[in-house]
Structure 1
Amino acid sequence: MANGAPNLREQRLRRAVEEEPASVQAHVDLCTFLCDAGRGDDAVALLDDVLERTPDAPWALSLKAGVLDAERRAEEALVVHEALIARAPQAAVPWLNYGHTLKTVGRPADAIAAYRRALALDPDNGFAWHGLASLRTYRFGLDDVMAMERALSRARGGLGTVQLHFAMGKAYADQDRFEASFRHYAKANDLRSGLVPYDADATSDLVRAIRAVFTPGRLARAATPVRGAPAPIFIVGMPRSGSTLIEQILASHPLVEALGERHELNEIAAGLGDTSPAGWASLVGTLGADELRELGDRYLESVRRYRHSDRPFFTDKMPANWQYAGLIRFILPQAKIIDVRRHRLACCFSAFTTYFNSRTPMPANLADLARYYDDYVDAVDHVDMASPGFIHKVCYEDLIDDVEGEVRHLLARLDLPFDSGCLRFHENPRAVYTPSAQQVRQPINRDGLERWRSYEIWLDPLKNAQA
């Protein structure tokens, strides 16, 4: 983008707001621009001005709550959600969004009540049914199953229908009706694939490019760590591998700040110029030391807005960053990578039963999930062998069997002193934005390890991939 273009765009967006001060879309467009530019405070200030002039504008409250949620300011967002439902108690969507934020901050009972209120107002709301399912520890009853079946008979498609099928998969599993459960999970994935396409060949092409670009020789010439520089800890792996648990453990250490799932590496790769899935990897191989250093500085600057402490380490827990392991070694030599591995069948099946938002392209069938797992393992193992010691692997099942031993080993690999708070991770009150939000607020248990076995007869595509 040419110099001055962002300012011109902002000027146009602000002019639209001035010309139509009651326009919801004009405010949405400007707030989106400001947040994308890392100026969430400016977006909040804009909406505060609206609320000062028109205190009874519920759309401004709703948009402000959405901005605060997007900026990972959940406690502030709760206050706004509560003001909104006080003004619009008969609207289902504010109750739904309130439930999402309550879940994030670890108030499951209140989240259930909010979702139930949304469903009382809109019984067919697939997003609210999925909100209950996403609590993981919540169990559906027979009345819920019948209510969801009625809702499905009236469903009109779209992501709400996808989420309703995922919720029904959970509800039938709660009744030990696993064939019906699997059927709804399969339907949910099939519908989602039509809305959020996934290209398995493109992922395999990317892995081949990674192997070609990030050779042992090139990785050996990567820059040396800068003493005193901010030290990111990247937590990567398959979705549903236990990465949120690892982040929760590290977030309970006094020297580590958790930033959740960040998209900045993906944006940096996309900004290199070649938009093909494997194109960025080839371009990285042509960059000089100064250009690589600039990319690392850009990453650190872009995540600065999410940092709220002076702790020397921070986590970036985006599972799909496995594809950028070599890039991380080039642009952030002081960084560390943790690869969280889970049993293939357990991990892939758990991903199959999980709703991923529209920004997350993921395989929508078991065969492609198995292939994705293989590609991820191939890419990470290649960088690990090419740059020994840069990646620390954590086996989820080993962590379950020996929590303290694995935590001590993990901290030692990160050059962190042992802290007993890491063993009490479930007491950490921080906001958690992933599907595992409720699970990581409980002590480690073995409840989900064998869940896949109830569906084993339908998992041949995963088993055959192992052969």
Structure 2
Amino acid sequence: MTTAAAPSADLQTALAHASRLLASDPALAAEQAHEIIKVVGDHPQAVLLLGMARARQGDTRQALEILEPLARSQPHVAPVQLELGIALGHAGRGDEALGALRRAVALKPDLPQAWLVLADHLGAAGDDEGADAAYAQHVRHSTRDPDLLAAASALVEDRIPEAEQRLREHLKRAPTDVAAIRMLAELAARLGRYEDAEHLLARCLELAPNFHAARQNYALVLYRSNQPERALAEAERLLKQQPGNAAARNLKAVVLCRIGDYEPAIAIYRELLEQYPQQSRAWLSYGHALKTAGYQDQAIAAYRRCVELEPGFGEAWWSLANLKTFRFAAADLAAMRAQLQRTELSDDDRLQLEFAVGKALEDAGEYADSFAHYARGNAVRRAQLRYSADNTHARVQRIKRTYTREFFAAREGAGSDAPDPIFIVGLPRAGSTLLEQILSSHSQVEGTMELPEITSISRDLRLRGGGDSDMPYHDVVERLDRAELRALGEQYLANTRVQRKAGTPLFIDKMPNNFMHIGLIQLILPKAKIIDARRHPLACGFSGFKQHFARGQGFSYSLDDLGRYYRDYVELMAHFDEVLPGRMHRVIYETMVVDTEAEVRRLLDYCGLPFEDACLRFFENARPVRTASSEQVRQPIYREGVDHWRHYEPWLSPLKSALGPVLDAYPAVPAFP
């Protein structure tokens, strides 16, 4: 028996020796693998080693010539699929790489490297949710420490408190364990504690500067916490070290879109699609960038490519509908209805398809069926949210109690003196994008986007007060001195500077929900202009009801919630009209439509700007527009749309009831207690 076993033992020794050489001397490893194949023939493990050696020598073409036939002959061997996936990725064949890597983890779920490479490819293809899940599996299977393994399992299974406790206990014993620090940062990011995640990842990179996966996480956390310039710098640093990192390139494109640099972002998406031509989410991101930059026909083609690849992709169908000026063909409507019949359709796909079908039927004049689809889409979305109209009302009352005449008088002269920002506030779908387009057509004004900076400042103030993101921040504001208020104003100006590319003296911040933060704006930027965009409550309310928003606006998925929110908005604006008389300028949408030139002149007078005829030709302004009205504001004012809501009036009783006296008084304001 000893004699018979010897050749096998010699073979295993030779294979092990060649394997050890891979990292330090891949050329010698290739020679060793060749020698083994000469002796024993095409032994699968020897052939795999040869392919790996060629890949590590940078010869991707030869590696694939070896690995592709091997994968066909050994379809159930996970390491073969893994190495094939890596080589395909290096060759720019991203879709095929994804297929090989998915086969690898299906064959051997505890293969950590396969999960990590898969996560990178999914991130590059725009599938952030899939990338996060794959990364969690990588963490779960990459550690052999029992404590970290238990923490990783808890994280994957969404047992967050247990995962956090285990990680903190482990880090007490091993405070420099970068894998554990990165896991804790992932947990913090999942909970929305981005400041904690940022500090943890910074510490991780301090300990291990070449920990590329941690740097990628760091860039993503900076992006999500509204620090796009820093996020871009980290992505660039990562790409300098790893030029072929497709996930980092995708992140760079995302950040470029955030700061308004659409042309280079579009170029990156185009390159990524050469690698991942079959990935619907990559096409979706490309379509969004094209749409915002004004390339409507190309955007439509990108969205259509999405639904060719994935017919049930609700977000792609809704993206077509959300162009507003786009019209579905009969075949499109039939295709969407067919998808809605599928029982396995996800809730997210279903609700967005319902909104898209509602829009198609609205355009066809089939209003009853259209409303039924809008209502079904809203019901699905409303069930996903935790929105409370009672909480919003309580929040408004808290604001009214805090920001009184006396409160502002005691802080007169505080804040930054800069007059640069023009805030446009109100409810979504009230005409704010039209006002932005008009103002940004003036030579002294730049349009930017719905800037998140005021929301970020309010969140930071909540955290400073020891509260979570749902707690009011106004008690913290009450304690701020003049220097702190001025610093917050300067912080706002510094953090929004990246959006200002035209060098004009004034710029627009068009975040509608900032009406909840007028008190804060007045304190930190007392010379900023504030414009209230207001539209008929039934027109505005129903327009919100038929809109699926990418994020936020939790009040918009119920007619009752919409009516109560509009009423709270009117009450709060009436309060600020009283305590800050003359501070804000109100534009009634219907008046703007009927007498555009007079209203534009009033608007410019309020902003201290001379009249320019270009403001009446706003539809010729080619700047990027990121909101749902992007295509509408590239056309002259559409007067016929003012009363379009009346087609749906038979079904708006809950909205009318919730609005109460606000509806009867419009455009005047009823008395509030």
Normalised by the length of structure 2, the TM-score is: 0.65
Tell me which residue corresponds to 1:323. 516
1:204 aligns with 2:381: no
Structure 1 residue 49 displacement after superposition: 2.6
Distance 1:47 1:350 in 2: 43
Q: CA contact under 8 A between 2:415 and 2:525: conserved in structure 1?
A: no
Structure 1 residue 88 displacement after superposition: 2.4
Structure 1 residue 133 displacement after superposition: 0.3
Once structures 1 and 2 are overlaid, which stretch shifts more, 376-385 or 305-314? 305-314
1:350 aligns with 2:543: yes
1:146 to 334, 353, 362: 334
Once structures 1 and 2 are overlaid, which stretch shifts more, 391-400 or 35-44? 35-44
1:291 aligns with 2:523: no
Structure 1 residue 105 displacement after superposition: 0.9
Q: Deviations over 1:7-38 (max 9, x none)?
A: 5522415877834x5x5xx5652221333334
Tell me which residue corresponds to 1:119. 307
Question: Unpaired segments of 5 or more residues in structure 1?
Answer: none
Structure 1 residue 414 displacement after superposition: 1.0
Distance 1:308 1:455 in 2: 42
Higher relative contact order (CA 8 A, sep 6+): 1
1:339 aligns with 2:528: no
Q: CA contact under 8 A between 1:222 and 1:333: conserved in structure 2?
A: no
1:136 to 298, 301, 324: 324
1:71 to 259, 267, 270: 259
1:406 aligns with 2:599: yes
Structure 1 residue 207 displacement after superposition: 1.0
Distance 1:232 1:241 in 2: 20
1:449 aligns with 2:642: yes
1:439 aligns with 2:632: yes
1:175 aligns with 2:370: no
Tell me which residue corresponds to 2:472. 279
1:185 aligns with 2:358: no
Distance 2:552 2:580 in 1: 31
Counterpart AA for 1:466 = G
Alignment of 1:205-220 (within 5 A): 205-220=394-409
> Given the superposition, is the C-alpha separation of residues 187 and 89 from structure 1 closer, same or farther in structure 2, using an over 3 Å criterion?
same
1:248 aligns with 2:440: no
Distance 2:248 2:495 in 1: 27
Q: Deviations over 1:330-368 (max 9, x none)?
A: 111111100011001000000001111234433320011
Structure 1 residue 454 displacement after superposition: 1.2
Task: Find the structure with the greater CA-based Rg.
Answer: 2
Tell me which residue corresponds to 1:260. 449
Q: CA contact under 8 A between 2:560 and 2:654: conserved in structure 1?
A: yes
Distance 1:361 1:377 in 2: 18
Normalised by the length of structure 1, the TM-score is: 0.92
Structure 1 residue 178 displacement after superposition: 1.5
Tell me which residue corresponds to 2:458. 269
Q: Deviations over 1:358-395 (max 9, x none)?
A: 34433320011000001011111111111111110000
Counterpart AA for 2:618 = F
Counterpart AA for 1:434 = T
Counterpart AA for 1:49 = K
Structure 1 residue 225 displacement after superposition: 8.1
2:204 to 5, 9, 12: 12
Structure 1 residue 230 displacement after superposition: 4.5
> Given the superposition, is the C-alpha separation of residues 290 and 60 from structure 1 closer, same or farther in structure 2, using an over 3 Å criterion?
closer
Distance 1:40 1:457 in 2: 49
Residue 258 of structure 1 aligns to a residue whose secondary structure is: strand
Counterpart AA for 1:189 = N
Residue 299 of structure 1 aligns to a residue whose secondary structure is: helix
1:194 aligns with 2:387: no
Q: CA contact under 8 A between 2:439 and 2:445: conserved in structure 1?
A: yes
Tell me which residue corresponds to 2:653. 460
Residue 423 of structure 2 aligns to a residue whose secondary structure is: strand
Alignment of 1:45-124 (within 5 A): 45-49=236-240, 52=243, 54=244, 58-124=246-312
> Given the superposition, is the C-alpha separation of residues 47 and 434 from structure 1 closer, same or farther in structure 2, using an over 3 Å criterion?
farther
Once structures 1 and 2 are overlaid, which stretch shifts more, 411-420 or 34-43? 34-43
1:367 aligns with 2:560: yes
> Given the superposition, is the C-alpha separation of residues 103 and 447 from structure 1 closer, same or farther in structure 2, using an over 3 Å criterion?
farther
Structure 1 residue 282 displacement after superposition: 3.3
Q: CA contact under 8 A between 1:224 and 1:334: conserved in structure 2?
A: no
2:348 to 142, 147, 159: 159
Runs of 4+ deviating beyond 6 Å: 14-17, 225-228
Aligned length: 459
Counterpart AA for 2:320 = L
Counterpart AA for 1:303 = T
Distance 2:377 2:419 in 1: 41
Q: CA contact under 8 A between 1:58 and 1:88: conserved in structure 2?
A: no
Residue 421 of structure 2 aligns to a residue whose secondary structure is: strand
Distance 2:294 2:522 in 1: 35
Counterpart AA for 1:445 = Y
Structure 1 residue 442 displacement after superposition: 0.6
Residue 257 of structure 1 aligns to a residue whose secondary structure is: strand
Q: CA contact under 8 A between 1:141 and 1:175: conserved in structure 2?
A: no
Structure 1 residue 278 displacement after superposition: 6.2
Q: CA contact under 8 A between 2:414 and 2:524: conserved in structure 1?
A: no
Residue 90 of structure 1 aligns to a residue whose secondary structure is: coil
RMSD: 2.4
> Given the superposition, is the C-alpha separation of residues 4 and 161 from structure 1 closer, same or farther in structure 2, using an over 3 Å criterion?
closer
> Given the superposition, is the C-alpha separation of residues 16 and 463 from structure 1 closer, same or farther in structure 2, using an over 3 Å criterion?
farther
Distance 1:292 1:60 in 2: 37
Counterpart AA for 1:178 = Y
1:42 to 233, 255, 266: 233
Tell me which residue corresponds to 1:421. 614
Q: CA contact under 8 A between 2:415 and 2:489: conserved in structure 1?
A: no
Distance 1:71 1:152 in 2: 36
> Given the superposition, is the C-alpha separation of residues 11 and 49 from structure 1 closer, same or farther in structure 2, using an over 3 Å criterion?
farther
Distance 1:419 1:361 in 2: 38
Q: CA contact under 8 A between 2:534 and 2:588: conserved in structure 1?
A: yes
Q: CA contact under 8 A between 1:242 and 1:342: conserved in structure 2?
A: yes
Distance 1:97 1:59 in 2: 13
Q: Deviations over 1:200-222 (max 9, x none)?
A: 11111111111111112222344
Distance 1:14 1:34 in 2: 16
Q: CA contact under 8 A between 2:198 and 2:222: conserved in structure 1?
A: no
Distance 2:625 2:206 in 1: 34
> Given the superposition, is the C-alpha separation of residues 177 and 225 from structure 1 closer, same or farther in structure 2, using an over 3 Å criterion?
same
Counterpart AA for 1:48 = L
Tell me which residue corresponds to 2:169. none
Structure 1 residue 153 displacement after superposition: 2.3
Higher helix share: 2
> Given the superposition, is the C-alpha separation of residues 171 and 222 from structure 1 closer, same or farther in structure 2, using an over 3 Å criterion?
same
> Given the superposition, is the C-alpha separation of residues 47 and 162 from structure 1 closer, same or farther in structure 2, using an over 3 Å criterion?
farther
Counterpart AA for 1:444 = I
Distance 1:137 1:230 in 2: 36
- Using the aligned pairs only, state the percent identity: 42
